[in-house]
Each structure stands twice: as C-alpha cells, then as structure tokens.
Structure 1
Amino acid sequence: MAEKKSATQKEPVRLREKKLANGNVSLYLDIYKSGKRAKEYLKLYLIEETNAAAREQNRRTLATAQAIKAKRMIELQTREYEFTKEYKTDTFFLDYYRKMCEKRHQNPESQGNWGNWRSCLKYLEIYCDEMTTFKEITPEWILGFKEYLNTVEKDTHKKTNKVGSELFQPLSQNSKVSYFNKLRACINQAFEDHIIPTNPLRGIEGFKQVEVKRDYLTIDEIKMLAATPCKYPYLKNSFLFSCLTGLRKSDIEKLTWGEVTKFGDFTRIVFKQKKTGGQEYLDITPQAEEYLGVRGENHELVFAGFKYGAWTLLELRRWVLEAGITKDITFHCARHTFAVLMLDLGTDIYTVSKLLGHRNLSTTQIYAKVVDKKKQDAVSMIPNIKMED
C-alpha cells in the first residue's frame, strides 16, 4: 500500500492515501522540495477488495502510482543536478545551428545536404530570434516550430504574400520533412555535446514522407523530342544529353570541355557532383556524345547559354507540347527517364545507382517501383488454368 507518514521525510516524493466518502482510497504524491511541500493527486483509486478481481485491480493501480512516483523522483533529481556547469543551456541556439551548417558546407560530400540545412535556417531565423538559448528549446517550442512549418509560406523570407492570397504557396510535405529533420539533428547533437541535459524531442513525431510521382519519358517519347525542332538548340541538346546520361541540370550547367576526355573507345565525363561533391567518372555512348557539339577550349562550358530557371522551364514545356507529349515535364525528368530506361533494359539496380552517382542504394530503389517489366514477366509465368478440350 502507500507509504506511511513519518516525522522526518527521508524521500522527496512519497505515495500517500486519502480516504474518500464512498469508501474508496485516492492516491496522491506528497512532494517535498526546497523546504516546500506540494500534493499531486494522481486520479488513481483503490477499491474495497471483495474478490480476486478487485485485488488485481488494486495491484495494477498501485503499480501505476509507483511508476509515476519514480518518474517524479527522476524529474526532481534532474532539475537539481542538470543545470550545473556540465551543461551549457545558455548557448545561443541559432549560433550553434549555423556552426553545424558551416561544417556541412566545408564537407565536399555534404554540399547538397548543406543546402537543406541553410534553407531550414531561414525559417528558424523567423521563428525565433538571436537571443534564443537552448534553455528555451522545450517540447512546446519544437511543436510550435512544427506547426509553423505547417502554416508558413514557401520562401517566406523572400516574399510578402499573405495567407489567403491567391499567390500563397505552402511548403511541400517533403520540405517540411527535411526541415524538421534538420532541427532534430541539431537538437540531438546538442544533447550529445552536453549542451542540454535532456532531449526535448522525446515523444515528438516528425512529418511523414510522401512518395513523389516521378514523371519520365518513354523511349518513343524521347525519339519524338529528338525529331522535334526546339527554339533553343542548347536546351534541346542538354535535355537529351541528360536523358542519355542521367546528369543533373546543375552538373550540366557547369560542365566544361576540360571534364570531357577520351577513355579507350569511350568518351568519359570526369566531374564533381555539385549536389554531393562526389568525384564521378561517367562513360557515355557515341549517341550521347553527339549532343555535346563541337569541342571547345578546356575552360569553356560545353552547353554554353544553358542556365536553368523559370524561363527555361517554360521553353522546355513548349518544346515538349510541340512534340505531342502532354506529360508535366521538368528538366529533372530527364534524369528520371535515364534511370527508368536503364532498369527497363535490364541493368541491375546497383549499376544504375553508380551511374546516377547515388550514395545510397535506397535512393535508386525508388525508380524500380515504376518499372513494370519484371512484374509483367512474373505474372506471365502463371500457367493456363483452363482445361483443354
């Protein structure tokens, strides 16, 4: 049963009983701290033990009460010892976050990830201020930032549009996933660095990732595009080159002739991915090589004049429509096209992953979902169930 009262209370938290008018017993905690006493009623009750079921119910009730008591003991001890010199809860949150951003900026393999960290920083700078310390990073603060991401406008640090206006664009679900995960990583690191004594993220769920539909072109549609004139030849060449190599638009924009070499019978592209900083060696086919055009000086851009933006996207979509293709195509769809084309031709997923420069095989496996050939082959093996006459 509950602990009996004593003249000298040795523990800061005691489990007590209070008899109620209906005969039941209410359980509460008698908490003593810094010369002050407080009561916390648990809304747990013991009933008269008239049978085995009642005794079992009381046993479970007491177990619950003891668990709450143990939790309160830990909380009191944490409050007493956690804010010592061992922890640095007065550290400014934004300064700490920026240092984590800078580490990723300096790491060549984290360039793409650094962009997401930097984007998240823009929203954190609006949500809190420069004087915010880790002492203020509570579960409520974190939930507040999560709600902020739910309601804030995309690129709000650049725009003045208001919620409710026709131009208002919320953050995409996957952007919210990314930004909340950056905050999570920062707080987890602060916990590891003994900046904070407890992790306020415990029990808080992030956003759920949604699967994005990946539009791509079939081989017949690529042929249609190749046969259709484009107002800007460098746009046509760069897009079809991406379809045949899988290079990202950011790597095509900066590709120089010095990165295009001969390697035996192949033409090889030797470059560093702009997104990840990884060194890549990509052998291309003679068909893809044709879209490079006439070779220039090593320092010159291969696709001179190509710069991706809203205007380029508009021209790309005009060209696609003129080819009779009604899909919603962006430049990145060329990379999707290459991935699906390779898988559909039977290339193993590991090789496709290397061709795309992916760090993790799981990234490439997303493309496998849109390839139906193996599934079609599998169901085609089902024998005929009809009886022959």
Structure 2
Amino acid sequence: MKQLLDDFLKQLALTRSGSQATQQAYRHDITQFIDYCVNEGVSSLQDVDTYVMRGFIASLKSGKKAISNRSLARKFAALRSFYKYLLLHDHVTINPFASLKTPKKANHLPAFLMINEIRDLLNSISKDGEAAVRDRVMIELMYACGLRVSETAGLTIHQIDFANRLLRITGKGRKERLVPFYPSIGKQLKNYIDVYRPMLLKQKKHSFVFVNLRGDKLTERGVQDILKRRALSAGLNQILHPHMLRHSFATHLLDNGADLRTVQELLGHQNLSTTQIYTHISVDRLKQVYRDAFEKEGEKK
C-alpha cells in the first residue's frame, strides 16, 4: 500500500499540482489512513468500504487528540485525491471518499501586520552584506506581491519582467497570474540579482532568485526560518509566518480601496469565497476606527 502512496506522490511532484508542504501533508495524512487499515486487518486499498472509512473518521474524532474540522477537511482532500489516482490507474474499482461531505471549516480571521510593523521589520535589516540584502528584498517582495512561500522559494529570474514591472507566478493548480511590483522594490531586486546574488551563488549555476549561503536554492523551510529570525530581531510581538505577509498584502489593498475581484486575481485564488475572508478584517478595522473616533468625540463633550 505504501508503494502506491510513493507512486502517487511522485505523480504529484511531476505534475507540480501541489507545493512541497502539500505533498508532505498528503504523505502524513494518507500514511495515517494506511496504518489504520493495517491495524484493522485491511490488507488492500481495494477492500476499503464505507464501514472502514467511517471507522477511520471516528478514530480521528475520538480521544484527547480529536482533530479540528479544518484538519479533517485536509485529510479528506488527500484521500479523495489518492483514490482518484488509484481509480485512474486501475488499482481500485471505487473511490469510497468521492461522495464524502467535507466538514465546514471555522472561519478564523488571518493574522496580518500593520503597515508600520512592515516598515519596522524592513528597516531593522541591514542594507550591507549579501544575506541581509537578500532577506530584505525577499521579505518586501513577499509583502508587495502577496507571494506564497512556495512561490517565493521557487521564483526564477525568467519570471521577472523588469521592463513592465511584473512577476509571472505559477500558483496552486498550475494557475498562472501576473503580479505588478512598484519601482522601488524593482530597483532593489535588480540590485540584488546583479550584485549580491552572484556572491551567494559561489559559482553554482541555476536560475532561482533566492539563494542560501551554500549557493543552492533557498528552500521553503529556509524562507520560514529567515522570517522568524528577522521578526525576532525587529522586536515583533508574534512569530512571523510567510502567509502573514500575504494576508497583510490583501488586507492593505482592501483598506486602500481595491475591489475584491482585483485582490482575488492578484492572490491567485480560484474562488472568490476564499478572498472574502479579508473583507471581515477590513470591516472590523472600520468599526474600530469608527468607535475610536466617536469615543474621543464623546470624551470632549
């Protein structure tokens, strides 16, 4: 069974239909299901029926380590995709997860940084030294273009159009989008690529924009580590996750009058409903501004 899982993950990697993080999550979730099947005496994935499937779901929901609907939805997506692959390659004759209803996810408002926090973060990074210049440019580009961590780590020089100030990004599901960048970040990016990137490359040859100290492509984990370290140095009162810069990008666009469809296009969201969560943040902030203004007015009276 685990050989079929390996084959499935290789197919995912070849088609690039999922980021490294997605592939790791799928491996974990499907392995968990396979282990459950083995413990229950199910020797073949063909033998999985509704009874086995519901038993697995019950095991996830019970005990002290009961998982959230969000995690459950991810596991369902992984298993549905895995069985679709098995069905396509004649390893099974039915997909027991095809008709399974996905549990509703709780709408947690995404965390984001205020504009002054973004400014403080960037200003805390030295403008000298190849690693510092790389970090500053990378963080500002992630914020200015709303990039995912996988898109940042995978960015190549060929995706940058300096003449028109555009990035050509291939996001989730191989969906392509064009994202503009402002002149000042364009100058910083060009300077990094022309002057500092060659120092980091150490004579290695590849087209990835962001390079680690060994001259290799900066990994997604490497990007995450840099953000955490730089946020700590800047004195931010929270751990900085890559998606927080993307959330900040979307929130600040809406705060400054961008329409939802434009933000959807810039983020590369397939469904508008995914983008709509940011409107809740902006409405909450409008209410806070309103309250602050009228409370101060009331105090004067």
TM-score by length of 1: 0.55
CA displacement 1:19-60 (0-9 Å, x = unmatched)? xxxxxxxxxxxxxxxxxxxxxxxxxxxxxxxxxxxxxxxxxx
Secondary structure of the residue aligned to 2:189 is: coil
Shift of 1:281: 1.9
Cα gap change, 1:268 to 1:190, in 2 (>3 Å):
closer
Pair 1:120-2:29 in alignment: yes
Cα gap change, 1:235 to 1:227, in 2 (>3 Å):
same
Aligned ranges for residues 1-389 of structure 1 at < 5 Å? 110-112=17-19, 115=23, 117-129=26-38, 131-139=43-51, 141-150=52-61, 173-183=69-79, 195=93, 207-229=103-125, 232-233=131-132, 234-263=134-163, 266-273=164-171, 275-294=172-191, 295-296=193-194, 299-305=206-212, 306-309=218-221, 313-372=224-283
Report the AA paired with residue 176 of structure 2: Q
Q: Distance in 2 between matches of 1:200 and 1:282?
A: 36
Shift of 1:117: 4.5
Q: Distance in 1 between matches of 2:188 and 2:242?
A: 16
Q: Distance in 2 between matches of 1:347 and 1:369?
A: 14
Partners of 1:272 and 1:279 within 8 A in 2: yes
- Higher share in strand: 1
Q: Which runs of 5+ in 2 are unaligned?
A: 199-204, 213-217, 295-301
TM-score by length of 2: 0.69
- Higher share in helix: 2
Partners of 2:162 and 2:186 within 8 A in 1: no
Shift of 1:213: 3.9
Q: Distance in 2 between matches of 1:186 and 1:299?
A: 33
Secondary structure of the residue aligned to 1:239 is: helix
Q: Which runs of 5+ in 1 are unaligned?
A: 1-92, 153-162, 164-168, 383-389
Say which structure, 1 or 2, has more relative contact order (CA 8 Å, 6+ apart): 2
Higher-Rg structure is: 1
Report the AA paired with residue 236 of structure 2: I
Shift of 1:370: 0.8
Shift of 1:329: 1.8
Partners of 1:105 and 1:114 within 8 A in 2: no
Q: Distance in 2 between matches of 1:170 and 1:291?
A: 47
Shift of 1:270: 2.1
Aligned identity (percent) is: 24
Secondary structure of the residue aligned to 1:128 is: helix
Cα gap change, 1:283 to 1:181, in 2 (>3 Å):
closer
Report the AA paired with residue 300 of structure 1: S
CA displacement 1:183-231 (0-9 Å, x = unmatched)? 457779999x9945x97998x7654422334111111111111221259
